[in-house]
Amino acid sequence: MEANLFSGKTAIVTGAATGIGLAIAEYLIERGATVVVNDLDAERTEKEVRRLNDLGRGKALTCAGDASRVDFVRDMVDYAAGLAGTRLEMIVANAGLTEFGDFLDFTEESFDKVTSLNLKGTFFLTQAAARHFRDAGTGGRIVLIGSTVGNRAYPNLVAYGMSKAAIAMLAEQLTLDLSPHGITVNTVSPGATLTERTEEEEPDYAGVWAQLNPDGRVGLPRDVAAAVGFFLGPGAEHITGQQILVDGGWANYSASPFFVDTLLAAESKKADV
Ligand SMILES: NC(=O)c1ccc[n+]([C@@H]2O[C@H](COP(=O)([O-])OP(=O)(O)OC[C@H]3O[C@@H](n4cnc5c(N)ncnc54)[C@H](O)[C@@H]3O)[C@@H](O)[C@H]2O)c1
């Protein structure tokens, strides 16, 4: 590990008090960054910030608040840009939420919940950061968090999938607007990733996805953090508008009778043990 890779640089990571966002914050702090840790859950953010600071490398700072609110994300960028002794160079728009539901019964309330954070929050955080990078003349790196569900249809996730597809297109669109200012925007799209939330949804989440992912295991938050770190690191200076799927190959295959047979065979082998 390059302990000083991100020394002297500040990152904002949204939705970072748990799960993938927390792993990204930790990855950056282990490599010397100052990380502005945002989450809606103020108490949990405080607790994790204390733990991150105990790692003894970079620095974590709390910035609790609602990343779907335009005034809040603008203030957060101002706060991060004003920190002494370190320069705001990295943004990770990780905060996002999922609402499951049949398309034919999907409510306006659920639609607004998904789109106000996943789309509006991401769009205006990116805009606020890009304005700062342009005015400061420093360039900058922005990573958006998409999903395999933005690339492949998945049951009961229409609004979520649509929002995540739009996120990847936002990064593509911005190659024209932001490349002249030295700003890169890329998307990291996790597949099924083991977090407290996903484990609550399905207690054997790791076991189920080990069967479905061609590489034979569930995704871990640190897998996603490593891909984010690549886009933020020195090797990705000339890469923008791209998307990396971190999914163990899940989005590469189509459902087939052969695959169902393989799953059933694995199930019956488990039952025999
Ligand atoms: N876990 C997965 O399997 C998976 C797969 C694909 C994509 N993703 C994406 O990765 C990102 C992180 O996912 P996760 O599973 O770690 O999420 P999570 O649900 O475990 O954690 C999300 C965090 O965001 C916070 N949050 C919620 N609303 C917020 C708001 N308005 N402002 C600020 N913070 C808010 C929550 O308090 C929570 O701490 C999301 O964008 C998600 O869509 C996750």
Question: Does residue 134 fall inside a structural domain?
Answer: yes
Boundaries of domain holding 262: 9-272
Strand partners, 219: 193
Residue 56 belongs to a domain? yes
Residue 2 lies in a domain: no
Q: Kindly state the greatest CA–CA separation across the chain.
A: 65
Respond yes or no: is residue 79 known to be catalytic: no
Selecting among 59, 160, 163, 189, the annotated active-site residue is 160
Is 189 among the domain residues?
A: yes
Residue 259: the pLDDT is 72
Evaluate: CB of 97 within 6 angstroms of ligand 1: yes
Is there an atom of ligand 1 within 6 Å of 95 CB?
yes
C-alpha–C-alpha distance, residues 230 and 237, integer Å = 10
- State whether the beta carbon of 24 lies less than 6 angstroms from ligand 1: no
**Residue minimizing CA distance to atom 1 of ligand 1:** 193
At 67 the pLDDT is 98
Residue 247 lies in a domain: yes
> Residue 210: what pLDDT?
94
pLDDT at 273: 57
Q: Where are the beta strands (DSSP E) in the chain?
A: 9-13, 34-37, 59-62, 87-93, 140-145, 183-190, 243-246
HEC readout, 174-233: HHHHHHHHCEEEEEEEECCECCHHHHHHCCCHHHHHHHHCCCCCCECHHHHHHHHHHHHC
Find out whether the beta carbon of 187 lies less than 6 Å from any atom of ligand 1.
no
Give, using CA atoms, the residue closest to atom 25 of ligand 1.
15
Residue 4 lies in a domain: no
Q: In what order do the strands lie in the sheet with 140-145?
A: 59-62, 34-37, 9-13, 87-93, 140-145, 183-190, 243-246
Which residues of the chain have a pLDDT value below 70?
A: 266, 270-273
pLDDT for residue 262: 73
Give the residue whose CA is nearest to atom 22 of ligand 1: 15
| CATH number of the domain residue 39 falls in | 3.40.50.720
Instruction: Look at the block and give the residue holding tokens 């695959």.
Output: 259
Instruction: Give the whole-angstrom CA distance, residue 118 versus residue 167.
Output: 8
Shortest-distance Cα residue to atom 40 of ligand 1: 96
Select which of 9, 27, 59, 147 is catalytic: 147
C-beta of 194 in contact with ligand 1 (< 6 A): no
Q: Which residue has the tokens 């779907």?
A: 68
Tell which atom from ligand 1 comes closest to the C-alpha of 97.
43
**Distance from residue 267's CA to the centre of ligand 1 (Å):** 31
What's 235's DSSP letter? Answer: G
Q: Please give the tally of structural domains in the chain.
A: 1
